[in-house]
Structure 1
Amino acid sequence: MKKRLVILSLIVTGFAGIVLVFPESPGMKPSRLTKSLPETVGTWTGKPEEPGAAEKEKLAKDTEFERMRYEDEAGQLPSVQTSIVFSGRNLSQSIHQPEVCLDAQGWEFMAQKRHEWKGLLPGDEVLPVKQILCRRGLFRKNEEGEYEDIVLPNGEKAYIWRVFYYTFFGHETIVSGHYERTAEDIKDRLLKGYDQRWAYATFSSFVTQKHRDQGLRFESGAGLDEMQTEAHIQTFLKLLLPIVVSDPGEGYDESLANGKNIGS
């Protein structure tokens, strides 16, 4: 795996030098992923969320965000957060490697895995995703106003657990890796003559059984382990994705309509 990534990164770097001598394409092609998430998905209700100020400051000004936290109407299942970052003209300043962002937020990576999910997109198209299982320590302010770890009755540190699944939607393709996305972007520019807007999508949920095992409870509903949480997110995406994902090359973005450029 490491050898393949090294070779791929060298190819990407080489082609990037070639891209620099090409004139910029007149306009950007839209992502397959819509810029507006629905407020309701089946029995799920979405609550809009804003990205943090620090997140906005690190990315280019023409980067756009869409974020919803979906909650089950019956209150029996953990919420699912859907977060999308739409790249601006300068891709390198609009979308960072996801692992870097999560690490900066204080998440400790416990496991990582690649999946190719079937049956979630129309036409039997496979959805590639990367899974990151994370945990983050819980803190509280003491009487002196300083933050300290929350310690469980057994003397162990308390953690919240969350699993993230991320992927990238381009104008035609969907890839689950940072370097794969870069390679696709260069290939489409060289061979097809267009630049494109990428949508970096993350779907995440608490692994609630991990909290139950510590005697913690943040959300109502069932306690789900890792495999059950994965199935839970897949069930939700089977409802959401047909609404928000277009066929290859068929996406629409009002800010890019009629050849209009962003970031100019």
Structure 2
Amino acid sequence: MTTKHLAILLAVLLVGLGSVFLLPHHLGFQPVGVEMNLPKMVGGWYGRDLDFSEKERTVLGEDAGTEFARKAYHNGAGFEIIASVVLSGEDMSRSIHRPERCMPAQGFTIIDKGAVPVALGDHGLLRVTRLQNVRNVTEESGKSLALYNVTYYWFVGHTVTTSSHIVRTWLDMKDRLLHGYNQRWAYVTVAAQWPPGAEQDPRAQRVIDDWMKDFIKQLVPKIQKDSVQIASVN
């Protein structure tokens, strides 16, 4: 990288960091873009309520107005999908966490990451981030076991969605600086654990991904309000 490029990069960083001090302290809130009541049924998936842990609520700033919703959904094949929504409060730095930031703290190693499209039929195309993760646990017998997990996530504002935390941060800063309002972004995750042996079976992985994409296709119209454009900003 040339000296000129380094200087430009440094200037951009300084402007970005400096703009934090220009953010208004008292902002108006835009209407929330999601429903915080997850549906009991999503297609052929039946849901039951799950709670966030006390640690999650503390870290994500429940005291600052952060809201939470989580359900475990099951299909006829006995497979489980966990859907969660975190709606930011006033302190955006606490409320919105990417899985890349919090999953390692839970013992997971992220082994694959990419942005993928999810077809929503007449509702368009939603881009989400897909993570493949593994966590090693020790059974009571002392045997080490690798547990594989796949997670899809995206962010929902008042009118837009994005799979990128960087884009979400940029849009949030722009709205605060130029328009004086807070979008109260929501962070949606859809996650599932692979059954034993699926890490060695590409066909099983495709089936699980298809289930999860179909779940997202049916979930989005139920939780995202009409003000939200499905076409993602990335």
Output the CA distance in 1 between the equivalents of 2:11 and 2:80.
40
User: Normalized against structure 2, the TM-score is what?
Assistant: 0.82
The residue number in structure 1 matching 2:136 is 137
Output the CA distance in 1 between the equivalents of 2:166 and 2:26.
22
1:182 positional shift: 0.4
Over the matched positions of the two proteins, sequence identity in percent amounts to 30
Deviations 1:146-184 (A, max 9, x none): xx4x2xxxxxx4212110001111111111122111001
Distance verdict in 2 for CA 1:91–1:171, change over 3 Å: same
Letter in 2 for 1:175: T
For the 8 Å contact 2:28–2:180, the answer to whether it is kept is no
Q: RMSD of the TM alignment (CA)?
A: 2.8
| 2:159 maps to which of 163, 172, 179 | 172
Q: Secondary structure at the match of 1:96?
A: coil
The residue number in structure 2 matching 1:63 is 66
The residue number in structure 2 matching 1:128 is 127
Output the CA distance in 1 between the equivalents of 2:44 and 2:102.
31
Which ranges of structure 2 fall in alignment gaps of 5 or more residues?
A: 1-7, 230-234
For the 8 Å contact 1:111–1:132, the answer to whether it is kept is yes
1:86 positional shift: 1.0
Output the CA distance in 1 between the equivalents of 2:219 and 2:11.
36
Deviations 1:9-30 (A, max 9, x none): 9857634533533534542113
Distance verdict in 2 for CA 1:52–1:22, change over 3 Å: closer
The residue number in structure 2 matching 1:240 is 219
1:244 positional shift: 1.1
Output the CA distance in 2 between the equivalents of 1:99 and 1:212.
20
Deviations 1:79-136 (A, max 9, x none): 11101111110100111232111111111112111112232572x2x31211110111
Q: Secondary structure at the match of 1:225?
A: helix
For the 8 Å contact 1:68–1:81, the answer to whether it is kept is yes
The residue number in structure 2 matching 1:97 is 98
For the 8 Å contact 2:139–2:145, the answer to whether it is kept is no
| Runs of 4+ with >4 A deviation | 7-13, 211-214
Deviations 1:34-58 (A, max 9, x none): 1110112232211111111221221
Letter in 1 for 2:45: W
Q: Which has the higher contact order (CA 8 A, sep 6+)?
A: 1
How many residues in Structure 1 have an aligned counterpart in Structure 2? Answer: 220
1:65 positional shift: 0.9
Q: Secondary structure at the match of 2:107?
A: coil
Distance verdict in 2 for CA 1:213–1:16, change over 3 Å: closer
Q: Secondary structure at the match of 1:30?
A: coil
Distance verdict in 2 for CA 1:10–1:179, change over 3 Å: farther
Q: Secondary structure at the match of 1:138?
A: strand
Output the CA distance in 2 between the equivalents of 1:166 and 1:248.
20
